[in-house]
Chain A
Amino acid sequence: MTSFPLALRTGRSPAALSLAVLGLVATAGCTVANSSSNESSAQTGTVRIVLPQEPPTLEPCESTLTSTGVVVRSNITEPLLERNPTSGGLEPLLATKWEQSAPNVWTFTLRQGVKFQDGSDFTAEDAVASFDRAVNNSALACTVKGYVFDEDPLVLKAVDATTLTVETKQPDPLLPLRASFVEIVPAETSAKEKVREPVGTGPYKVAKWDAGQKLTLEAFPGYWGDKPGFGRAEYQWRDEGSVRAAMIVNGEADIATNLGSDDGAGDKGIAYPNNETTALRISTGEAPLNDIRIREAIDLSVDRDGIVKTLFANLGKPASQLIGPGVVGYNDALKPTPYDPHRAKQLVAEAKAAGVPVDKQIRLIARTAQFPKIAETVELVQSALADAGLNVKIEMLDTSAQLKYQQKPYPPNAGPYMVLVQHGNQAGDAAFTVDQYYKTDGAQSANGSVELDNMIDKAGALLDDARQVAFADVFKYQNEKIRGFVFIANMSGVLGRGDKVDYHPDAATGDEMRLSQMKPKG
């Protein structure tokens, strides 16, 4: 071996190497950092949106997943009807009329003249296939099935090209609301595999997806409704809220979602109620949490006003129940439990005197980065409970590990534990909350009673005012008789908005951000 590295052999080698490095940067710049335009949105008619994470797929039947739904819903694909997040009412979209034609049957009249982005016509056969795919197909295991439909399959029929009937096993007054979660795709869409880039009837279609970098949608010229304000929409993703906020401040993005109060968006950050409620869900199966005095003591120990004011920077309001105002069933007579550490201590002492093992360690399980300041929130709760005389250990887990304690089947021999949950009721009806969390057989239930189950079943069969009153009673019963939850706050989100876009977030923005509501400013 007689050769030597270039750098050590020639006098000009450092310069040569420098050139090589510059060349490398330039070459690399051509591959990873595509030197695409950095033009402003106004010049290109493009709205630039930065999200916390890349959608895993754009599969329409997974649109209840926030990261997917925020791009897909009502942008690429559309449902038959949609819920107005402000009024709560259902509005026509791909269906123009719907009626309960028999106790177990709903009939939808479909809009005519609608085309899919592949040029095919939208017919009742497509609606049948979409419902079948999303609800009846256990192999696809779509999340929409778990979120809004139960296990019973739907009987679907295309009566003619513009008429769809949906038959349920039991009379279902909420079927149109549930239908608002089913995004319509062509009948030819695979029923065996999830799709990454779907075809829909929405105002935008997928133009290009540079996986890992950027997703671009472009306006669909054959859209049946009003033309959207922007010709294109570009989605990027950054994990860090402060970086998303910096992109808004620096003019690199027009909309940034999921910001925190201290991410630095300044006056470009807009707070809005986001449907989410945070709470401690108590598993009541084991001592000391099986004693209602201990659960009441935990409830009294939480300083909700302090958490909202100091940790959440007044984004949100102290909560009294697992849903927020505006959801059918919300009980506005319930007030957040007042902070009373003195009474909490008394209750713990009483329980101890009665033989309850109050010094047994309680696990307080929370999900890392589930919402801003979650770590500080659980630390504050732990400290308050220690002051009350309880022995609480914090466990911050990643999503997968935390879900094992939030969703059934729960791990055996887990000991006494509480889980910090954040629940968002996207549907606007209490049934979608209590069926999951309050019924003893609910997928995320860890407490309850037979009496409460009966109340929920009865409330679910009612309509209008009677439904509102019955569900309000359910929430009251849980707070007074079960005490299985310690509600913390009805949360607010922060949306970053640049100067070139006119857009006003609403309660649904976090889950369904409609591009058609965004207009260029000026």
Chain B
Amino acid sequence: MLTFLRQRVLSSAVPLVVVVLGVFLMARLTGNPASLYLPENATQQMRDEFSRAHGFDKPLLAQMVDYFSGVIRLDFGQSLRTGESASTMALRAYPATLQLATVTMVLAVLLAIVIGSWAALNPNGVADRVSSFMSMTAASVPDFWLAIVGIWIFALTLGMLPTSGVDAGALSWVLPILTLLIRPLGVLTQVVRGAMISALSAPYVKLARSKGADEYRVISRHALRNASPPALTVAGDLAVGLVNGAVVVETIFGWPGIGKLMIDSILERDFAVLQAAVLLTAVTIFALNILIDIGYALLDARVRRKVTA
């Protein structure tokens, strides 16, 4: 297992460096952000001082060396916008995103297992058709529209929930999670349904039933376990999207997460914060991918044998 983990770490390190390097270079392509941060009638001397103070006057290679040596020392530089440490800003925002993503994914997986299995037990039945319709709709509705409609119904019309913000305790979570949940739930339900239909018609399930196993045991111990790997693959992809920052939800609901921070940093050409935020999310995605691989090994004996070989 350790060899497997070592290999995964090494193979993931390359894309990690490529991502960080890519963001560094693409940010520099947008030019010197002096216009955004200096007075309207800034003199050339002021522009030169600004560039010198922030290292933009150096050749690109020298800037890159400075950046990577800073990363090694965990010094990501200072925000042009707020004057704070870039890593402080990124680390302050990320827990909000991670909490939202974790709760959303756990709920999505649980609900998808229940609804998908229920639909698979009666293919083409009423439950299956209703769940398929809801899943397809959920997977197709844009986040933005859903968020605004959610505010209109639950906050303005029914008065049950706050429109946005994080001030109302657990109630603050409902609309952001509902908005985020709907798409992964729709996709995952369809995946679970399909995998469960295949699993339920497999010989080992028939054998289990013929041996007198009760239906709950057949579903949970035999069918669902074998239907899990494809669901895990899709859930992993969806989770990666969420931990990367739910920009729309964070923006509309005033959720102080990393997605909003990244967008603001792009718009304000706040390179240090952007780089710190991207590196943080890239490392998380890298860790998440390893967890998913371990999950495969736990679920699938064939993978487990390869891993432990």
Contacts and interface: CB of A to CB of B under 8 A. Distances in A.
Contacts of B113: 14
B96 interface: yes
B267 A398 contact: yes
B269 interface: yes
Contacts of B49: 138-139, 141
Given A1-B304, A26-B170, A196 B46 contact: no
A57 B82 contact: yes
Given A11-B220, A246-B163, A400-B30, A146 B170 contact: no
Contact of A141 (B1, B37, B295): B37
A142 B38 CA distance: 7
A151 B163 contact: no
A424 B295 CA distance: 58
Interface stretch (B15-23, B186-194, B248-256): B248-256
Interface stretch (A96-104, A154-162, A233-241, A499-507): A233-241
Given A1-B1, A1-B297, A57-B82, A24 B102 contact: yes
A418 to B, nearest CB: 19
Contacts of B166: 32-34, 213
B83 A196 contact: yes
B168 A400 contact: no
Contacts of B155: 246, 250
Question: In which size bucket is the chain A interface?
Answer: 35 or more
Contacts of A31: 95, 99
Contact of A400 (B35, B42, B224, B298): B35
Contact of B103 (A5, A21, A143): A21
A250 B156 contact: yes
Contact of A3 (B46, B228, B298): B298
A1 B305 CA distance: 9
B45 interface: yes
A499 to B, nearest CB: 15
Interface string A1-45: 101110010010010011011001110110111111110000000
A212 B93 contact: yes
Contacts of A14: 110, 113-114
Of A29, A33, A247, A436, the most chain B CB neighbours within 10 A belong to A33
B39 interface: yes
A118 interface: no
Interface in B155-208: 155-156, 159, 162-170, 172-173
Contacts of A144: 39
Contact of A236 (B35, B254, B298): B254
Contacts of B280: none
Contact of B156 (A138, A196, A249, A400): A249
A3 B30 CA distance: 51
A56 B81 contact: yes
B59 interface: no
B35 A404 contact: yes
B36 A403 contact: yes
Contacts of B216: 11
Interface in A487-508: none
A17 B156 CA distance: 33
Of A14, A32, A142, the most chain B CB neighbours within 10 A belong to A32
B208 to A, nearest CB: 15
Interface residues of B, number: 77
B84 interface: yes
Interface string A111-140: 000000000000000000000000000110
A394 interface: no
A401 B35 CA distance: 9
Contact of A196 (B31, B84, B95, B106): B84
A31 B257 CA distance: 13
A189 interface: no
Contacts, number: 194
B228 to A, nearest CB: 8
Contact of B254 (A17, A38, A139, A237): A237
Nearest to A38: B168
A17 B113 CA distance: 12
B240 interface: no
B268 interface: yes
A399 interface: yes
A444 interface: yes
Given A57-B82, A194-B83, A250-B155, A141 B39 contact: yes
A211 B36 contact: no
A218 to B, nearest CB: 17
Contacts of A34: 166-167, 169
Given A138-B45, A212-B92, A24 B151 contact: no
Contacts of A398: 267
Interface in B48-79: 49-50, 53
Contacts of A443: 40-42
A457 interface: no
B33 interface: yes
A240 B252 contact: yes
A400 B33 contact: yes
Contacts of B307: 1
A142 B39 contact: yes
A4 B30 contact: no
A479 interface: no
A399 B209 CA distance: 65
Contacts of B165: 213, 236, 238, 252
Contacts of B268: 56, 399-400
Nearest to B221: A8
B40 A147 contact: yes
B109 to A, nearest CB: 9
Nearest to A151: B43
B308 interface: yes
A34 B113 CA distance: 32
B234 interface: no
B299 interface: yes
Contacts of A267: none
B265 to A, nearest CB: 11
10 contacts: A14-B110, A24-B99, A28-B100, A194-B83, A196-B84, A212-B96, A238-B164, A398-B267, A400-B269, A404-B31
**Nearest 9 CB-CB pairings of A with B:** A146-B39, A212-B256, A35-B169, A28-B99, A443-B41, A33-B166, A33-B172, A403-B35, A56-B81
Interface of B: 1, 30-31, 33, 35-43, 45-46, 49-50, 53, 81-84, 89, 92-93, 95-96, 99-100, 102-103, 106-107, 110, 113-114, 148, 151-152, 155-156, 159, 162-170, 172-173, 216, 220-221, 224-225, 228, 251-256, 260-261, 267-269, 295, 297-299, 304, 307-308
Given A32-B96, A34-B166, A141-B38, 13 more contacts: A1-B297, A14-B110, A28-B100, A32-B256, A33-B172, A139-B49, A151-B43, A211-B92, A239-B252, A247-B164, A250-B155, A399-B268, A400-B267
